[in-house]
């Protein structure tokens, strides 16, 4: 059952969900949601391992567009490309998709209390935070989120695989200000904006390509535009020998 609380402070207890919410709330600057391209991973480094981004698909489905390494380890599999309900038990699969769709349609802030049992039979509690994001075209079709499990440390982690069940969820209203910035889908007319955050660089329209049978042009032909790129995560990637750290994100871009 979804219940609305007046203050988000009464709902978000975990430091990671609070940190992500505070950053998102600052980033939106009075709007209902910020753009995905505005999100700077460096500003939320402490939450990256547990963070994810859902992408809204046709027929009401949601899939992982990005997933942190700790979340993938908890699930015991690569989350990228997986449907959102994959983090939940079969009996609670609809709970996260229902809350995520309410987060986008509101828009609102979704918070879910969860409990899971890992492969070793140990019980864990935590919470899931869902925050709306706009695409570069202005559509509300992305969800920035975090799965925060209580009691996880370097010495104590859930034994994979673990799935979660919903203990209760809340949808919080988003307050917007009259002087907030409005999203402009056209952007600057002088050229494409520089890539920032989770956005990919775009190329200017160069007109049709010259065919090989055409006479040589007076000016050199333009270089080919960017190709599709896929970045694969490696769950067995070694830690950096200098600082002992491992990659925190697995991301696919197209």
Residues 99/11, Cβ–Cβ less than 8 Å: no
What's the residue count for the chain?
A: 254
pTM above 0.75, yes or no: no
Question: Which residues does 161 contact at the CB level (< 8 Å), separation at least 6?
Answer: 74, 75, 76, 77, 118, 119
CA 12 from centroid of its chain's CA atoms: 18
Instruction: Render pLDDT for 88-123 as a digit per residue (tens, 0 to 9).
Output: 999 999 999 999 999 999 999 999 999 999 999 999
Instruction: Render pLDDT for 50-59 as a digit per residue (tens, 0 to 9).
Output: 999 999 998 8
Among 26, 48, 28, CA closest to 36: 28
Domains of the chain: 2-173 (3.30.450.20)
Instruction: Render pLDDT for 121-131 as a digit per residue (tens, 0 to 9).
Output: 999 999 999 99
């Amino acid at each position: 059952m979804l219940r609305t609380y007046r203050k988000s402070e009464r709902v978000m207890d975990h430091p990671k969900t609070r940190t992500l919410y505070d950053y998102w709330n600052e980033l939106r600057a009075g709007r209902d949601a910020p753009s995905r391209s505005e999100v700077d991973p460096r500003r939320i480094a402490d939450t990256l391992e547990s963070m994810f981004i859902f992408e809204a698909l046709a027929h009401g489905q949601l899939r992982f567009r990005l997933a942190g390494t700790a979340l993938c380890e908890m699930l015991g599999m690569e989350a990228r490309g997986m449907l959102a309900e994959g983090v939940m038990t079969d009996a609670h699969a609809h709970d996260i998709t229902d809350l995520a769709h309410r987060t986008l349609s509101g828009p609102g802030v979704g918070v879910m209390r969860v409990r899971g049992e890992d492969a070793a039979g140990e019980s864990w509690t935590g919470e899931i935070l869902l925050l709306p994001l706009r695409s570069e075209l202005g559509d509300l079709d992305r969800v920035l989120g975090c799965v925060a499990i209580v009691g996880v440390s370097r010495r104590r982690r859930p034994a994979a695989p673990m799935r979660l069940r919903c203990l209760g969820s809340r949808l919080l209203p988003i307050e917007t200000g009259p002087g907030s910035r409005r999203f402009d889908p056209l952007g600057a007319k002088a050229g494409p904006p520089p890539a920032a955050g989770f956005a990919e660089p775009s190329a200017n329209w160069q007109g049709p390509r010259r065919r090989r049978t055409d006479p040589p042009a007076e000016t050199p032909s333009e270089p080919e535009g960017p190709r599709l790129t896929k970045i694969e995560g490696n769950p067995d990637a070694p830690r950096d020998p200098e600082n002992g750290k491992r990659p925190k994100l697995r991301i696919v871009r197209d």
